[in-house]
Structure 1
């Protein structure tokens, strides 16, 4: 390597120092020969204090038999993705995910490299989220079927299925696009059901790394890995209640396999434990992608899907039930009048039509945000008009194919079409700002002179 690449050692040292992961290398005696600054920050120790020492000599919390570096040095077998909890040099508990690899020459281990990813903040964050969710549950802030609105026939079918699911203990799978109300349905099934007085624990599977999630779900027992403590898992905490596995398709296949076993056999085994714990937990799982496509792509195990999908509920996206939009708007105006201390008296017909024509990629969540924003902008005791809405909502449909017309020769004039769109947007923004040119120019992110020129060529005058 030295003969092929000039300054190879300097290049390698620079690379290792600028990685986001901690790197430690020990020799055949287990003594540290390399320790980058990232590892030093994780463990709260200066690299100069570590060189020439074994891990057990500078970390009181780690015994030699528990050290992954020493174990790999003895066995010659690499360890991938192992969670470790231990006290650093500041006596603060840290959590890392480590991969430890032997370096062999002539079948003899001459060194061991350990790559550590600091997960301490993420672990603390996920635990805080769980505590907040449990506090929220204790304060009785939850949804029931009274919070689900809709007269659309497809929506009515979904609501009826959910109501029947609430009086059952079978697993439920809810498929819907993001923002369509999966959480509202899930909570309604629990809080209007047989288990309403028992725990309801929601888990966002996409937000928690698999290696942390496994311990959170099943619990840990002392001795299972370095620094492991006796700790109940969420399944045990939710006994006789419900666990919501949100975006369950984001789980690693091996975790899907473990959950399948829990569903089939009705017990869990904590990480590092030897005894099974019987549990009675109802699982509600949600997907934001079509399950058939997920199975085909290998993201969702077929056997896991079939075990979850005892009762399947499909929630239609908002664009497929636009007849429900007036109901949502009325309920949202009522809600935000109370929260924002307004007295909005409704919405005009022009704007309601535009809301029903809009595509709503973000579904009910997007509609909720749009109405809240409009009410914030509206005057007290007024009616919501297009002036209070983001222009992407008010003018989205001026791009529709139905607005595109050809001239008498069958040709489409793009320049005239774009000019017409520009005129409509500028006219709308001028009206919103009472024809204040400076304010309108700022909102359109153009200069005042440019706006005055466009007002002139489009012949826009204040009425």
Structure 2
């Protein structure tokens, strides 16, 4: 926090660690004394003092006092008293390590991209085919049929389904059954990269576009001729969704900071872990992008809707881990099978796989049957969810005594259920999300939405 002259009046311990400074040496010093590489134009704090405007989620790269390059995402707000600017406060999140790892991934991808462009029949970076997919339930077979038919065309595909249902497995299978099978397959989770870095990752960068930028192709260029799998597309920033839509329509990309466009021939397979209608209603997915992607729609059912496949999947994972662990497990006990059939499976097939792997770690060398005590705690402990009676009682408490707009009423109930769960798990977002059967990111979105 600085006063109206740009002099530091508050500096917390975490910021001191990021900047490599001692708090005592910072208080009373100006921004430019502390960070000589900053200017009136590049300092978000000075900009707030000069313009009175806030800056939200701005990427800033600078050298700290020890000569280390720091990259952070800053949100800066001017402070007013009686309409006059008296200072500014800045909240910073250090993403230096994320940027470094991101650059390493991009460099490796670029090396692979250069290497494969010289090979006509290079193998793509996939491991799954339709023959690897297990499931006999009608709902899943219906989804599988749509996926196989989609492999014959070039149209965009949108795969929807809860976490752990095998969306990337389906995406890879579509690619490997298509005429693009000998071309690149690149998968990118849109929630895994800060939105400020995502544009350069997608479309590439031009040297000098921003601090540290070099000439580098984005994943659209790297996937040219092949398939680009964009997971959790609903997590992509709205402004980037607009740019993505333009690329899909025109088939051309422009690198960040560049002045020319380049044609790309890429098939898009996108995926979402929430329903399209929810994403559209909450304005986290552009309707025009949805309609452009939703040419072929594949709905993957949760494991609770394909319980007839649980036994098949159990035997598949047992065979797999028998090879990995050099063991001879033959199956699971009746008690385990009954537990699995009645479990809610918030993590779906991925959770089932992890449960079997966890059990293998608990087995003695001579044991051949997975029993209840071998399983992770969530299968043996009493569920911490609200009891049915308590749920009904809570729902009755929210029944309106007068006419109410249904969506608002539903949001009120949802907010209170999340609030209850958050309190139950003492603010632990990961445990709360697991208990509610939703992804951590989805819960964070709802926490922000409901101001919890």
Q: Do they fold alike, i.e. is TM over 0.5?
A: yes
Q: 2:64 aligns with which of 71, 82, 88?
A: 88
- Aligned partners of 1:51, 1:205: CA distance in 2, in Å? 41
Q: 1:326 aligns with which of 298, 311, 317?
A: 311
Give the structure 1 partner of residue 413 of structure 2: none
Helix, strand or coil for the counterpart of 1:306? helix
Structure 1 residues 356, 387: CA separation in 2 closer, same or farther (over 3 Å shift)?
A: closer
Deviation at 1:93, TM superposition (A): 2.2
Root mean square deviation, CA, Å:
3.8
Q: 1:346 aligns with which of 331, 335, 359?
A: 331
Deviation at 1:312, TM superposition (A): 0.8
- Aligned partners of 1:68, 1:393: CA distance in 2, in Å? 50
Q: 1:249 aligns with which of 234, 240, 243?
A: 234
- Aligned partners of 2:111, 2:371: CA distance in 1, in Å? 40
- Aligned partners of 2:27, 2:372: CA distance in 1, in Å? 65
Structure 1 residues 59, 279: CA separation in 2 closer, same or farther (over 3 Å shift)?
A: farther
User: Which stretch has the larger CA shift, 174-183 or 97-106?
Assistant: 97-106
Query: Does residue 98 of structure 1 match 2:83?
Result: no
Gaps of 5+ in 2: 114-122, 388-452
Query: Does residue 117 of structure 1 match 2:93?
Result: yes
Spell out the pairing of 1:39-438 with structure 2 (5 A cutoff). Answer: 39-45=15-21, 48=25, 55=32, 59=35, 61-62=37-38, 66-68=42-44, 77-101=53-77, 114-127=90-103, 142-348=127-333, 351-380=336-365, 382-390=367-375, 393=379
- Aligned partners of 2:373, 2:323: CA distance in 1, in Å? 19
Number of equivalenced pairs: 373
Structure 1 residues 105, 341: CA separation in 2 closer, same or farther (over 3 Å shift)?
A: closer
Contact 1:26/1:33 (8 A) holds in 2: no
Structure 1 residues 107, 383: CA separation in 2 closer, same or farther (over 3 Å shift)?
A: closer
User: Which structure: larger Rg?
Assistant: 1
1:394-427 alpha-carbon deviations (Å, 9 max, x no partner): 7989x9x9xxxxxxxxxxxxxxxxxxxxxxxxxx
Structure 1 residues 370, 130: CA separation in 2 closer, same or farther (over 3 Å shift)?
A: farther
- Aligned partners of 2:75, 2:319: CA distance in 1, in Å? 54
Structure 1 residues 26, 214: CA separation in 2 closer, same or farther (over 3 Å shift)?
A: farther
Spell out the pairing of 1:9-48 with structure 2 (5 A cutoff). Answer: 23-25=1-3, 27=5, 32-34=7-9, 36-37=11-12, 38-45=14-21, 48=25
Structure 1 residues 106, 292: CA separation in 2 closer, same or farther (over 3 Å shift)?
A: closer
Deviation at 1:75, TM superposition (A): 5.6
Deviation at 1:339, TM superposition (A): 0.3
Deviation at 1:35, TM superposition (A): 6.3
Gaps of 5+ in 1: 1-22, 402-463
Helix, strand or coil for the counterpart of 1:272? coil
